[in-house]
A and B are shown apart, each in its own frame.
Chain A
Amino acid sequence: MTNDGDLLVIDRILAGEQNLYAGLVDRYKSYVYTIAYKILLNRPEAEEAAQDTFIKAYHHLKSFNREAKFSTWLYRIAFNTAISYKRKHRHDFQSIETVVISHAGESEGPLEKNDKKRFLNQAMAKLGEADRTALSLFYLQEFSLEEIAEIMSMQANTVKVRIHRARQRVADELKLILQKEALTL
């Protein structure tokens, strides 16, 4: 659905048809959840942050600037909400999943697709949350650099540099991980 379609739905929600909001939640939940997950690396926390994002967006729907895209506005709320969750729960965040990522499937064989993903997740976990989010949004291939910049409240050039540096860092981390793997074989 286009932004115009979203705007029509928003008008009806503001007029009192609250149940239509479920349609917007359904449409954007995966993106919002993905953004939250890339920052928090913890599924229950990402779920909570994503739900909180939709609740905040609903309560601020009146103040949504119609010149902007609804999705970009929503993803910016998701980004900020997840970042503030991360700050709030900083001490709890040696995520179980990160630990699982680093050890799961160590006995698996050659470098198959799953291994590729596993190693990639390990390398991605070494990035800062902003770099990880920028890189993930970039590879979803649905956002321009300008949109990613808007979501993350940064300059487009800064985002471009961050994505370049993040890819280099991931490549370096993967090299180290693969060297370690080779030694354990």
Chain B
Amino acid sequence: MKKVTQQSDDMLLDFLDGKLTNEQQAAVSESLRQDSALRERLEQLRFVHEAMIPAYLETPSKNFTASVMGKLDQQPAPRGLSIRNGLFLLAGIVMVLTIAVVLLSSGVFDQTTTVNLNNNELTQRFIKQSLPAFSIDGKVLVNAIILLNIVVAFLVLDRAILKPFFQRRMESM
């Protein structure tokens, strides 16, 4: 059976929604007369259309309004991290920082690695020109990562722990 295209699907949906001009409607009707696959697809889409109409509203519990009114003086649920998750995240960051500092001070990252792209088989095969070699200083790289982690740790401390903590204290006063 001939496959119905995306374009004809869109046209059939507009046909069901009554969004076509008279000429377009006549053209669709003619196509439907000639094409059984299109007719079958229209029936499938019509089934969805008729099952959806009338769409009904879901009903919340009977005491919904009373529950909302009873909670109005509460602050809405905070977005983002809870204090507990913030503490876990902060502990993780501090642990990573400690390991990085210990490794750094023991000289693990003292070496400088030189990356020479010309030694790569792929570059040799596809790029005829010679590529520049560059070196990576392990110490500088790890220092940058440590610095970034310290900034993240301060942000987590502020947003997820200190701010909610003082907000709660203010509310309870």
Contact = CB atoms under 8 A, between A and B. Distances in A.
Interface of A: 18-19, 21-22, 25-26, 29-31, 33-34, 37-38, 46-47, 50-52, 54-56, 58-59, 84, 116-117, 119-120, 123, 135-136, 139-141, 164, 167-168, 170-172, 174-175
B60 A47 contact: yes
B23 interface: no
Contact of A171 (B48, B61, B74): B48
A79 B58 CA distance: 15
Contact of B76 (A19, A52, A117, A136): A52
Contacts of A33: 57-60, 64
B51 A52 contact: no
Interface residues of B, number: 32
B52 to A, nearest CB: 4
B60 A116 contact: no
Contact of B44 (A30, A38, A50, A174): A174
Contact of A47 (B61, B74, B76, B77): B61
B47 A47 contact: no
Given A26-B65, A47-B60, A139 B44 contact: no
B120 interface: no
12 contacts: A21-B68, A38-B58, A51-B64, A52-B76, A55-B72, A116-B51, A117-B51, A139-B53, A167-B49, A171-B45, A172-B44, A175-B44
Contact of B48 (A18, A47, A167): A167
Nearest to B55: A139
Contact of A21 (B45, B55, B69): B69
Given A59-B75, A120-B48, A164-B10, A141 B55 contact: yes
Contacts of A29: 60, 64-65, 68
B87 to A, nearest CB: 18
A10 to B, nearest CB: 14
Given A33-B64, A168-B9, A171-B48, A59 B58 contact: no
Interface in B36-89: 41, 44-45, 47-55, 57-61, 64-65, 67-69, 71-72, 74-77, 79
Contacts of A56: 76
Interface of B: 9-10, 13, 41, 44-45, 47-55, 57-61, 64-65, 67-69, 71-72, 74-77, 79
Residue from A21, A33, A51, A119 whose CB has the most chain B CB atoms within 10 Å: A51
B16 to A, nearest CB: 9
A51 B76 CA distance: 10
Residue from B44, B51, B79 whose CB has the most chain A CB atoms within 10 Å: B51
Contacts of A30: 57-60
Contacts of B41: 171
A135 B71 contact: no
A136 B56 CA distance: 9
Contacts of A84: 79
Contacts of A55: 68, 71-72, 74, 76
Given A26-B65, A33-B64, A164 B13 contact: yes
A174 B55 contact: no
Contacts of B13: 164, 167-168
